[in-house]
Amino acid sequence: MTWKQTTKSLDRFYSCLPYIIPMSAVVIYGGILFEQFPLLVLPFTPLIWFYLNVMTFPVVPVLRLTLELFIFLGLYFFVVRDNNISYFIRFNAAQALLLNIIIILVSIVVRLIDQISFLSFARDILLNATFIGINAACIYSIFRCVRGEYAEIPVISEAAKYQVR
C-alpha cells in the first residue's frame, strides 16, 4: 500500500520508533518462554531494559500507569492526530497504539483467568501467544517500515487507517 506518498528515510526511521512501546510492554509475557529457552532472552535484552528502566521508572504502580497513559495519549494526540506529520508516521504510530491496546485487553483477561486456579494452563498459552503474536506483528511492521511500505495487519491496519483520516 504505497499509494499515499513516497517516504523519506527519516520518516521510515520515525515510523519504526512507536513499535518499541508494544514490544517492551509484551516482554513481561515472555517469561514462560524465557525459562524454557534461555537464549531467547538475548535479543530482547534492550526491550527488557527499556521496560524496567523507562516504563516502570516510578515504582509506585499508580504513577507507572499514569506514565503509560501520558505516553499513550501523547502519541495519540501529538502524532496520530497531527496532520502536519506525514501519513506514514501517523499510520504506524496508530498501529503501534492499537497493538498496545491488545496487550492491555489481554492483561485484563489474564487477571480474570488468575481468579480461576484450574485455568493456569490456558493462562500460559494466552501469554505465550500474545508474546509471540505482538512481537511478530511489530517485527513485520518494522521490516515493512524500513522498506518504506505499509504493514498490513488484517484488523489492526483497518482500525489504524480509520484513526489517521
Taking the C-alpha atoms of residue 147 and residue 43, their distance in angstroms, rounded to an integer, is 22
Environment class of 105 (CB within 10 Å of its CB; exposed 0-12, middle 13-18, buried 19+):
exposed
- What sign does the CA torsion over 94, 96, 100, 105 have? positive
Once rounded to an integer, what is the mean pLDDT over residues 130-148?
95
Give buried/exposed letters for 115-149 (b at 16+ CB in 10 A, else e): eeeeeeeebbebbbebbeebbebbeebbebbeeee
**Tens digit of pLDDT for each residue in 35-86?**
888 888 888 888 877 777 766 655 555 556 677 788 888 899 999 999 999 9
Q: What is the pLDDT of residue 157?
A: 92
Q: What is the pLDDT of residue 2?
A: 45
Q: What is the pTM of this model?
A: 0.85
| C-alpha gyration radius of the chain | 17
